[in-house]
Amino acid sequence: MKQKINIRFSKKIWKLKEEFKTSNRSKNTDQVEVIEVVIKKNGYIGKGESTPYIRYGENISNSIEELNKIKPFINNGMTRDKLQLKMKPSSARCAVDCAMWDLEAKEKKKEIWQLLKIKKKPLPLKTTESYGIRPLKQLQSDIKKDNYPSLIKLKANSENVLKIVSTVNQISKQSKLIIDFNESLAPNEIIPLSNKLKKFNIILLEQPLHEKQDSVLSTFKHPIPIGADESCHTASDLIKLKNKYDFVIIKPGKCGGLTEALKLKRLAEKNKFSTMIVCMFGSSLAVAPAYFLSLDGANIHNIEVPKIMLNDRKYKIKCQNQLIFPPDQRLWG
């Protein structure tokens, strides 16, 4: 008897508590638009969510177009493995892929960490506290309000990074720092700026250069580890990161889903890269796969998004005191 499968998808909007600014874009409180995918199969329901990312030419419209093309194949029983071949890595594929994982967990009556063959049972994970670009006095106040986090991620560019880092260092010397440049540095800035920053307690410089201008990273010994975000989407990108990057930044939405993200993570670690798991803006449904990816043993967990959302799903993931707690199975997995 043929199994009855039905996929539907829709746009949803989630709000942030405040505007989040980076070096090259900002997220306004009313602009977190996501794609939600729901797959129904023989009474079971799997859900997935992902945020189209303008940096990669994605938006709601072309994501819906992608999903309409794949819909007949999903309804005809396409497997998750075949999905990886049929769709390019994208936020649209991520939403479908994650819905398939959720559906499989419910069908097999297993928890997602068991399906993923993760050795650790779900437990609270230490995560970063992230701060977008903001006035320095506000940054000081926000860090104090958060009780001086031990691991801080800061958005910055070449013009403001020294002021930002100096300010944070003055009020929270014990904090380890991650600086995310979002590709904003020029190739001739990275070496002198790295040397100026090495006196601070910085453990990672995230994507300092544009992905098409990062060849200079192989020409010098890094005083501070450098991480590849926009320069690495899937496992096939790892070969071009050799001798240029120390960390691989992994986001399910960027990879095209949890399937590819897990493959990338494990292969990166096999090739001696450190890993940081990150999730894009969205509801707890989008964050849940990133939590389980982190549970697999990443070096850094940058997945505290539920804390900065103004509204969220009914079964919201709990974030408290720099810890992110396991997702409720009624949410996902």
User: Inter-axis angle of helices 91-108 and 60-75, to 10 degrees?
Assistant: 40
Q: How far is CA 46 from CA 39, 61, 221, 293, 295, in A?
A: 5, 23, 46, 18, 21
Instruction: Give the pLDDT score at 20.
Output: 87
Q: Where does the pLDDT of residue 164 fall: very low under 50, low under 70, confident under 90, or very high at 90 and above?
A: very high
Q: Confirm if 331 and 288 have CB atoms less than 8 A apart.
A: yes
According to DSSP H, which parts of 135-281 are helical?
Answer: 136-145, 161-171, 190-197, 252-255, 258-270
In the chain, what are the domains?
Answer: 5-110 (3.30.390.10), 125-324 (3.20.20.120)
Q: Confirm if 273 and 93 have CB atoms less than 8 A apart.
A: no
Q: Which residue is it, tokens 């398939």?
A: 100
Q: Where does the pLDDT of residue 21 fall: very low under 50, low under 70, confident under 90, or very high at 90 and above?
A: confident
Instruction: Give the pLDDT score at 63.
Output: 98
How big is the chain, counted in residues? 333
282-314 pLDDT per residue, tens? 999 999 999 999 999 999 999 999 999 999 999
Helix (H, G, I), strand (E, B), or coil: what is residue 320?
Answer: strand
180-237 pLDDT per residue, tens? 999 999 999 999 999 999 999 999 999 999 999 999 999 999 999 999 999 999 999 9
CA 67 to CA 300: how far, in whole Å? 32
CA 169 to CA 174: how far, in whole Å? 8
Amino acid at 231: S
**pLDDT at residue 88 is higher than 80:** yes
Amino acid at 145: K
Tokens of 156: 């910055």
Predicted model pTM:
0.95
Per DSSP bridges, beta strands 300-302 and 319-320 are: unpaired
